[in-house]
Structure 1
Amino acid sequence: MYRLCSIMPLTTIKDGEYTATVYKMIKEGRYGDAIHILSKEHQKHTKSRAALSLLGYCYYHMQDFTNAAECYEQLTQLHPEVEDYKLYYAQSLYGACAFPEAMKATFLLDSTASHTKMIKLQAAIKYGEEDFSGAKTLVEQLPQDDPDYDVDLGCLLYKEGEYEEACKKFMSSMNVLGYQPDLTYNIALCYYSLKQYASALKYIAEIIERGIREHPELSIGMTTEGIDVRSVGNTLVLHETALIEAFNLKAAIEYQLKNYAAAQEALTDMPPRSEEELDPVTLHNQALMNIDAKPTEGFEKLAFLLQQNPFPPITFGNLLLLYCKYEYFDLAADVLAENAHLTYTFLTPYLYEFLDAMITCQTAPEEAFRKFDEIAGKLTEQLRKVTKQEARHNRDDESLKKHVQDYDEVLERYIPVLMAQAKIYWNRDNYSMVEKIFHKSLEFCNEHDTWKLNVAHVLFMQDNKYKEAIGFYEPIVKKHYDNILNVSAIVLANLCVSYIMTSQNEEAEELMRKIEKEEEQISYEEPDKKVFHLCIVNLVIGTLYCAKGNYDFGISRVIKSLEPYNKKLGTDTWFYAKRCFLSLLENIAKHMIMLRDPVVQECIQFLEHCELYGKDVPAIIEQPLEEDRMHIGKNTVTYESRLIKALFYEVTGWNE
């Protein structure tokens, strides 16, 4: 966030020392091409001051600070009398995050000639090392009318969590200096940290709009539109526009608001760069926001970042949480053990205790439950404390707003702990115990969507509590009734089943008509898009009838739900369908039921259709980090449908 002195301007290089071609390349921003020529020249004349100066300049503008530092180090040795080279050497080391070396290099500067620049650079180094008190001491040595004084204080206030005060400092600087991309980004970041997302997005939009208008060469938004464009590189121009930071912050806001498609779009809108040119924050966000679609790639990126210095502070916690989400508890334990030195720096006590309990689930569920209970106890105590403070300040709008925010933050930590506790008993099919756990949390969670949804699920699973389940499912569905496909398909399916089981068939049919209408609209607007909501609802209803022993009707419903096969056959829908068929075969083999010939014929015809349309449909989604992969030819709906068809012939004695 610090604004350092600008690197050596081109005007300090005497014209004529190099060909006009090299100067033209540099002025056009073609630093890579210039480096290619200059490197050859430097190899011929190892002590060429001009070649080294231009190389350092180009490397710096390419954000290749390590090579820039090497060039300026040689220049300081060849020409110790030139003060600028010492400054550029220190700046390059700072850019390369070699903070101790950069600080050592600042001591070589002539303090009388470069005092202010030296103080700014030393403060920036202390800031990079997270020695904020040391940075503040240095900043306070600057003249208060210095343009960077308020900016630097704002950065320090931000790190202290004083987001409103930091924002005021940045606003004050903007009033003096006019529009500055880095200041605008800092203001947006403050609003983001205050959870005032609309204000943050307003400033982000200004950065992006100016970037599009003033720098068309950066190809903003081209990748999202599907236009193949070459990398713009990590130039100083790109850095100065703050576009990468702005798009990353926009992605983070959309992700927080659960607008996942918009978050992914923000990442593809940013100026295109090749993967090896990506900064750590962009790499982290790509991994996190595409983890569902590309989990293996996401884990690889996060693990790679963990080996870099520096890496985004949240990388460590996110990698561990994702390992736990995918139930790679051994990998999570290994990463914790191998990076014990990062635990106290990058994990809060709450997150460490939560991860420890999650990892314990694998080997000792009872012990894990006890650990979760301890965490839950601390959090419920905090919730009660905040509630009392809220009651005392109910007339003070600002205090009330602060307490409500504090309450919400504690609640967001409490919900995952509660769900992890419940999952221990859910995995054992002990639904009554899960219900008791949820009931204990009623005091705090009764308005939380995640809590209500999971209460609905556990009531539904108990067979005799469909009416109570409807009471929880209905508000969730009605909340999104105008965009019903935004509701999870399984929620809609469970509500329909609950209606049927409580003899409310008209309500079930009305809901299904609503889903069908919206799917038809999407089919009209996007003919190639697959939508599975109505299909899954019918599959779950078919499964219900099969579970009750009415296979004639249940299997028929399952078969019809997958028509047309080219649009409805998918990994999830095949999972529901094959469960019903395998259950049917098991009961036939045990001589518990008899199927009429037309039904057997219908089943075989269905399996043949699945065989035809399922060549490119995975039968199961494998865990991303599995070492023993299924044979590619066996993990298809085609392969599994052939197997089930063969079983049908064998069990029923049906002749082709």
Structure 2
Amino acid sequence: MPLTTIKDGEYTATVYKMIKEGRYGDAIHILSKEHQKHSKSRAALSLLGYCYYHMQDFTNAAECYEQLTQLHPEVEDYKLYYAQSLYGACAFPEAMKTTFLLDSTTSHTKMIKLQAAIKYGEEDFSGAKSLVEQLPQEDPDYDVDLGCLLYKEGEYEEACKKFMSSMNVLGYQPDLAYNIALCYYSLKQYASALKYIAEIIERGIREHPELSIGMTTEGIDVRSVGNTLVLHETALIEAFNLKAAIEYQLKNYAAAQEALTDMPPRSEEELDPVTLHNQALMNMDIKPTEGFEKLAFLLQQNPFPPVTFGNLLLLYCKFEYFDLAADVLAENAHLTYKFLTPYLYEFLDAMITCQTAPEEAFRKFDEIAGKLTEQLRKVTKQEARHNRDDESLKKYVQDYDEVLERYIPVLMAQAKIYWNRENYSMVEKIFHKSLEFCNEHDTWKLNVAHVLFMQDNKYKEAIGFYEPIVKKHYENILNVSAIVLANLCVSYIMTSQNEEAEELMRKIEKEEEQISYEEPDKKVFHLCIVNLVIGTLYCAKGNYDFGISRVIKSLEPYNKKLGTDTWFYAKRCFLSLLENMAKHMIMLRDSVVQECIQFLEHCEMYGKDVPAIIEQPLEEDRIHIGKNTVTYESRLIKALFYEVTGWNE
């Protein structure tokens, strides 16, 4: 959209200078005042529309150009800019109607391209294709438009070729590089996608230092760069979002969050829907309340990222807000067929049923599992027939993995129904039935290990599943979940393999000491949780003297080891001890009672800012802020000790 040179008005020179410097917001401030004084000023309106368009504020840009088309119907460019602004604002029917006002003799190619883009935005891909085919094949946008349509048809390789062909003709363009990266992402060729993303980011840093790329991650407080046309043309926002998605798929969650903070800074109201969605999803573990708010907000917008609907429903189910999931499904029935696959709809339906009718839910999961196992067997047979054809084999392996990734959640949901009832032998049977397909899957192996561990008499079998998980990360043992390490240590102890348990704990201690040296303020809980679980085991077996002593020592030093999770394990042991003492089932030596009270006093001292429990994100009745602390709970438990033992404070 070119800037028409207009000489009249004293403000013009100042405004032009601001526009040249990219200070569109400041220019809009001056132009708005001028427009209020002279509502029919062609100069003010034209410049306002231009600035709004460059700020990606398409709604206001459309208003300006609409007025200009009425005041100056003879200017063809205003009609084109009006149509482009309506398209940018996703007002597709109005934009299409406006394109018919264009003089086809002077703007034919531009009109066809804009109409094709509108049809594409309306997801009328056949209509868009018929319009694109009216363009001359030598037109630089011809291959790009065909590439976009091929991508929508799922022809990612062919689409990629079209974009590369365009890049060879037009030279490097960030939006084309992003399109190529997106094709590779859809083909699950993440290394190739990241290569193109890296180039977009490197060029952005080099050519646009004013966009403050990466400064937010470094902790530098920078002002919003706004949604300017320059930012849009760099494709940086899209590139960082795609990078975040790739890291998230690869389970590199810290890198995914960093990709989002590396992007040029904008205020929350300026964020695009994809960024808002990714922020919600990738920060769900640390900011679940905000995450739910953002996803629910996006669902009311038009358009919103297609995955928003499914992700919101899945997260409601993950946090066991089944009623909310059911309400959202009922209120948005029109979105169900558009945004949910049959598999996802059936899975969500079964999950929601778990709350009221677990047996019926199990049956529904069984039906889904039956369909998926049939698909897995079919792919396995095809794979066996084409084992000499590398390309076909690669495709069948990919198909198998995709079906398996749908099967695992169904299997885990079935198992959870019986896990919640503490029917661990039934859970084991469910996992055993899936051995044929899942025996190499990490999630399956981990959960089999857990269910064997819970059955008391199967510690040796549990070791067989826990050990490979730990050995896989032995050089970076803190990458293993603390509970896995704790359960393995307990299993070693229960099978008289104390030396193996001690060796594993020494390894954990060594790595924690290294982290403590490199990052003195960082809290690391692995060894603490291992000791807490071992202490809990001894308490459960009735050896409170040794168990409680182990629990107390595990939280030293308190400023580094006292956290919500560690307090949870510790207080369970103390409450169990108090219950048995109140029933006169055990007696404690005075020295142990004294040790317990000193421990609780330390927790009281260091627990002022440590939440006692993590509340559910959408809970309406919140615990009083003064009561949800380790300090408050440790005082209560200490008071119980005085009452049960008869000690005086």
Q: TM-score, normalised by structure 2?
A: 0.99
Q: Deviations over 1:509-566 (max 9, x none)?
A: 0000000000000000000000000000000000000000000000000000000000
Q: CA deviation at 1:655?
A: 2.5
**1:45: how far off?**
0.8
Deviates more, 1:427-436 or 1:8-17: 8-17
What is the match of residue 351 of structure 1?
Answer: 344
Counterpart Cα distance in 2 of 1:246 and 1:387 = 36
CA distance in 2 between partners of 1:185 and 1:17 (Å):
43
Q: Distance in 2 between matches of 1:589 and 1:120?
A: 81
Indicate conservation of the 8 Å contact 1:90/1:106, yes or no. yes
Does residue 83 of structure 2 align to residue 90 of structure 1? yes
Other-structure match for 1:378: 371
SS at match of 1:395: coil
Counterpart Cα distance in 1 of 2:188 and 2:17: 46
**Residues of 1 paired with 2:435 and 2:91: CA distance?**
52
Local SS of the residue matching 1:394: coil
Q: Deviations over 1:21-76 (max 9, x none)?
A: 11101111110110010011011111111111000000000000000000000011
Alpha-carbon distance, 1:16 to partner:
6.2
How much does 1:337 deviate?
0.6
Instruction: Determine the C-alpha separation between the residues in 1 that align with 2:482 and 2:445.
Output: 16
- Give CA deviations for 1:594-636 in whole Å, capped at 9, x if unaligned: 1001000000010000001001000000000000000111100
What CA deviation, in whole Å up to 9, does each residue of 1:251-293 have, x standing for no partner? 0000000000000000000000000000000000000000110
Cα distance between partner residues in 2 of 1:16 and 1:629: 59
Write the distance in 2 (CA, Å) between the matches of 1:142 and 1:260.
44
Asked whether the equivalents of residues 260 and 275 of structure 2 are also in contact (C-alpha less than 8 Å), the reply is yes
Q: Deviation at 1:14?
A: 4.0
Q: Distance in 2 between matches of 1:233 and 1:260?
A: 27
**Matched-pair contact (CA < 8 Å) for 1:90–1:105:** yes
The aligned counterpart of 1:136 is: 129
The question of whether the paired residues in 2 share the 8 Å contact of 1:49 and 1:75 is answered with yes
Deviation at 1:18, TM superposition (A): 3.8
Q: Report the CA distance shift for 1:421/1:24 in structure 2 as closer, same or farther (over 3 A).
A: same
Distance in 2 between the 1:566 and 1:350 partners? 48
SS in 2 for 1:405: helix
The CA deviation at 1:15 is 6.9
Equivalent residue runs for 1:285-304 within 5 Å? 285-304=278-297
User: How many residue pairs get matched?
Assistant: 649
- 1:60-114, Cα deviation, whole Å (9 max, x unpaired): 0000000000000001111111110000000000000000110011011011111
- Secondary structure in 1 aligned to 2:4? helix
Cα contact 1:63–1:234 (8 A) shared by 2: yes
Q: Distance in 1 between matches of 2:331 and 2:526?
A: 44
**Preserved CA contact (<8 Å) 1:17 1:50:** no
* Aligned counterparts of 1:13 and 1:565: Cα–Cα separation in 2: 70
Contact 1:588–1:594 (8 Å) recurs in 2: yes
Aligned-pair distance for 1:17? 6.6
| 1:29 aligned counterpart, secondary structure | coil
* Partners of 1:290 and 1:14 in 2: CA distance: 51
Aligned residue for 2:195, secondary structure, equals helix
Matched residue SS, 1:10: coil
SS in 2 for 1:639: helix
CA contact (8 A) 1:431 1:461 kept: yes
Looking at structure 2, the residues matched to 260 and 466 of structure 1 have their Cα atoms a distance apart, in angstroms, of: 32
Q: Give the CA deviation at 1:414.
A: 0.2
Of 231-240 and 16-25, more deviation after overlay is shown by 16-25
| Residue of structure 1 in register with 2:308 after alignment | 315
Looking at structure 2, the residues matched to 455 and 162 of structure 1 have their Cα atoms a distance apart, in angstroms, of 39
Q: Secondary structure at the match of 1:250?
A: helix
- Aligned mates of 2:416, 2:433 — CA distance in 1: 15
| Aligned counterpart for 1:588 among listed residues 578, 581, 584 | 581
**1:11 deviation in Å?**
4.7
Q: What is the Cα-based RMSD across aligned positions, in Å?
A: 0.7
Q: CA deviation at 1:10?
A: 2.2
| Cα-to-partner distance string for 1:176-202 (whole Å, 9 max, x where unaligned) | 000000000000000000000000000
How many angstroms apart in 1 are the aligned matches of 2:131 and 2:5?
Answer: 30
Measured after TM superposition, the shift of residue 20 of structure 1 is 1.3
Once residues 152 and 278 of structure 1 are traced to their aligned partners in structure 2, the CA distance between those partners, rounded to angstroms, is 26
Note if contact 2:240-2:259 (Cα within 8 Å) is conserved in structure 1. Answer: yes
Aligned residue number for residue 4 of structure 1: none
Q: Is the 8 A contact 1:163 1:194 kept in 2?
A: yes
Q: Please give the alpha-carbon distance, in whole angstroms, between the structure 2 residues aligned to 1:287 and 1:153.
A: 33
**1-structure distance, mates of 2:620, 2:265:** 33
Match of 2:104, SS?
Answer: coil
Deviation at 1:430, TM superposition (A): 0.1
Residue 184 of structure 2 contacts residue 193 of structure 2 at CA under 8 Å; is this kept in 1? yes
1:525 aligns with 2:501: no
Q: CA deviation at 1:343?
A: 0.3
Q: Distance in 1 between matches of 2:637 and 2:52?
A: 62
| Preserved contact between residue 189 and residue 200 of structure 1 (Cα < 8 Å) | yes
Counterpart-to-counterpart distance in 2, 1:389 and 1:77: 64
The 8 Å contact of residues 346 and 368 in structure 2, kept in 1 or not, is answered as yes
- Distance, in Å, in 1 between the alignment partners of 2:198 and 2:12 is 41
1:111-140 deviation digits (Å, cap 9, x = unpaired): 111110000000000000111011000000
2:58/2:86 contact within 8 Å kept: yes
Q: 2:173 matched to which residue of 1?
A: 180
What is the CA distance between 1:13 and its match in structure 2?
3.3
Q: CA deviation at 1:9?
A: 1.6
- Structure 1, residues 152-178: CA drift from partner, whole Å, max 9, x if none? 000000000000000000000000000
Query: Contact 1:219–1:229 at 8 Å: present in 2 too?
Result: yes
Using the TM superposition, give the Cα deviation of residue 357 of structure 1 relative to its aligned residue in structure 2, in angstroms.
0.3
DSSP-derived class of the 1:114 partner: helix
For 1:10 and 1:70, locate their aligned partners in 2 and report how far apart those are by CA, in whole Å.
Answer: 17
Q: Secondary structure at the match of 1:112?
A: helix
Give the distance between the partners of 1:106 and 1:12, measured in 2 at CA.
25
The residue matched to 1:245 in structure 2 has which SS? helix
Distance in 2, matches of 1:644 and 1:10, equals 73
Kindly state the Cα deviation for residue 12 of structure 1 after the two structures are TM-superposed: 3.8
Once residues 34 and 137 of structure 1 are traced to their aligned partners in structure 2, the CA distance between those partners, rounded to angstroms, is: 41
Q: Deviations over 1:563-601 (max 9, x none)?
A: 000000000000000000000001011111110010000
Greater displacement, 11-20 / 409-418 = 11-20
Asked if structure 1 preserves the Cα contact closer than 8 Å seen for 2:612 and 2:633, the reply is yes
Q: Distance in 2 between matches of 1:467 and 1:12?
A: 82
SS of residue paired to 2:158: helix
Residue 609 (structure 2) aligned to one of 602, 605, 616: 616
Match of 1:437 among 430, 435, 439: 430
Write out per-residue CA displacement over residues 372-417 of structure 1, whole angstroms, 9 at most, x where no aligned residue.
0000000000000000010111111101000000000000000000
1:236 Cα deviation after fit: 0.2
**Contact 2:8 2:43 (8 Å CA) reproduced:** no
Structure 2 gaps of 5+ residues are none
CA distance in structure 2 between the aligned counterparts of 1:532 and 1:614, rounded to whole angstroms: 15
Q: Deviations over 1:239-261 (max 9, x none)?
A: 00000000000000000000000
Are 2:453 and 2:487, in contact at CA under 8 Å, matched by a contact in 1? yes
**In structure 1, distance between residues paired with 2:577 and 2:9:** 87
**Aligned residues of 2:545 and 2:592 also touching (Cα < 8 A):** yes
Q: CA contact under 8 A between 1:247 and 1:267: conserved in structure 2?
A: yes
Matches for 1:210-249 after TM superposition, within 5 Å: 210-249=203-242
Q: Secondary structure at the match of 1:355?
A: helix
CA distance in 2, matches of 1:516, 1:356: 46
Task: Report the Cα distance in structure 2 between the residues aligned to 1:18 and 1:194, rounded to whole angstroms.
Answer: 53
Instruction: Work out whether residues 390 and 400 of structure 1, in 8 Å CA contact, stay in contact via their aligned partners in 2.
Output: yes
Q: Are the aligned partners of 2:84 and 2:95 in contact in 1 as well (CA < 8 Å)?
A: yes
Q: TM-score, normalised by structure 1?
A: 0.98
| C-alpha distance in 1 between matches for 2:637 and 2:212 | 52
Distance in 2, matches of 1:630 and 1:122, equals: 56
Matching of residue 55 in structure 1 with residue 62 in structure 2: no
Shift of 1:654: 1.7
Task: Give the conservation status (yes or no) of the 8 Å contact 1:286–1:298.
Answer: yes
1:394/1:400 contact within 8 Å kept = yes
Q: Provide the rounded CA distance (Å) in 1 between the counterparts of 2:274 and 2:567.
A: 38
| 1:617 counterpart SS class | coil
Contact 1:477–1:492 (Cα < 8 Å) also in 2? yes
